Amino acid sequence: MGPIYIMWLRQIKRYWRSKPRIIGSLAQPLLFLVALGFGFGPIFQKAGGGNYIEFLAPGIIAMSILFTAMFVGIEVIWDRQFGFLKETLVAPVSRYKIMIGRTLGGATVASMQGLIVFILSLFVGFKPANISMIIVSFVFMFLIALLFTAFGTAVASRLEDMQAFPLIINFIIMPIFFLSGALFPIEGLPKSIGFVMKLNPLSYGVDGLRGALTGNHTLGLVQDVFVLIGVTILTTIIGGYLFSKIKE
């Protein structure tokens, strides 16, 4: 078996073996869906925004993928501290292939997380506008997962302190999430905020997911796809370079 497949399979096995981790990672998205969806729903509807659950659900799916994908990077630090990473790096295999395998595995895990949240959102009251576009939404889920798994791995490749990683990631995640249009529409914002949101790659993921699941999008599905693919390729190249520089 190739090194990419081995690393991909290893990440999947880690995910399914950690049942508390799976359950715990679902608590926050479910809380956001119920508390915000029903709490701000009447206000959103009175403001002419329509059904807030339908607007919110794609953003919460993207949020669950973002958090899961970024925190996959901590496994790099964990493996380094306990010597597992050294055993992998001394193998006669390209480090780029190891990094790509880990990234694909982490992206698959994060996509599964997003799929579970999508199913939960159906029980909360979310209804996709077009069943045939659900496959397109899965493509956006995987692109979001791939991008932020590569980003999390890149950050982890430069850190050795396991305690520092969650602090730095949380510092990065919160602006990315709140400035992505996941919780509120992009239209009508001050120009400065709107400009920052358009620089945020997650904005294109949320917009693509929302467009695929509800038919409502602001930036355009084609633009969403190309921006995500471009940023993902760039991030993977940078992450692969940083991962290759890890000292054994």
Give per-residue pLDDT as tens, 11-41.
666 666 665 666 667 778 888 888 888 887 7
Who wins on pLDDT, 65 or 166? 65
| pLDDT tens, position by position, 120-163 | 999 888 888 888 889 999 999 999 999 999 998 888 888 777 77
List the one residue out of 93, 105, 215 whose CA is nearest residue 153.
105
Q: What is the pLDDT of residue 245?
A: 74
Q: What letter does residue 32 receive in the DSSP assignment?
A: I
Looking at residue 91, its pLDDT comes to: 61
Closest CA to 79 of 168, 166, 156: 156
Predicted pLDDT at 86? 60
Longest dimension (CA), the chain: 62
**Cβ(209)–Cβ(139) under 8 Å?**
no
Percent of the chain at pLDDT above 70? 81
Decide: residue 152, CB within 10 A, 0-12 exposed, 13-18 middle, 19+ buried.
Answer: buried
First to last CA, the chain: 24
> How does pLDDT run across 228-240, given as a tens digit for each residue?
999 999 999 998 8
Distance between CA atoms of residues 227 and 132, nearest Å: 23
Q: How confident is the model at residue 168 (pLDDT cuts 50, 70, 90)?
A: confident
**How many CA within 13 A on the CB side of residue 66?**
26
pLDDT level of residue 207 (50, 70, 90 thresholds) = very high
- Contact between 63 and 29 under an 8 Å Cβ cutoff? The reply is yes
Contacts of 131 (CB under 8 A, 6+ apart): none
CA–CA distance, 75 with 211 (Å, rounded to integer): 33
pTM for the model: 0.89
Residue linked to tokens 């009175």: 46
Q: Give the closest residue to 196 by CA, choosing from 210, 183, 211, 181.
A: 181
Q: Which two tokens stand for residue 2?
A: 């190739």
* CA atoms of 59 and 193, how far apart (whole Å): 18
Residue identified by tokens 């001394």 is 90
How far is residue 7's CA from residue 153's CA, in Å, rounded to a whole number? 13
- Residue-averaged pLDDT of the chain: 82
List pLDDT tens digits, range 33-65. Answer: 888 888 877 887 777 667 888 889 999 999 999
**What is the DSSP code (8-state) at residue 180?**
T
Q: Quickly state the pLDDT bin for 244 (edges 50, 70, 90).
A: confident
- Give per-residue pLDDT as tens, 136-145: 999 999 999 9
Contact predicate 152/70, CB 8 Å: yes
Task: Name the band, by pLDDT with cuts 50, 70 and 90, for residue 8.
Answer: low
Inter-helix orientation angle 164-178/74-81, to 10°: 170
Helix 52-71 and helix 19-31, axial crossing angle in degrees, nearest 10: 150
Which is higher by pLDDT, 30 or 98? 30
- Given a cut of 70, whether residue 7 has pLDDT beyond it is no
How far is C-alpha 109 from the chain's CA centre? Answer: 10
The tokens 């850190």 sit on which residue?
A: 159
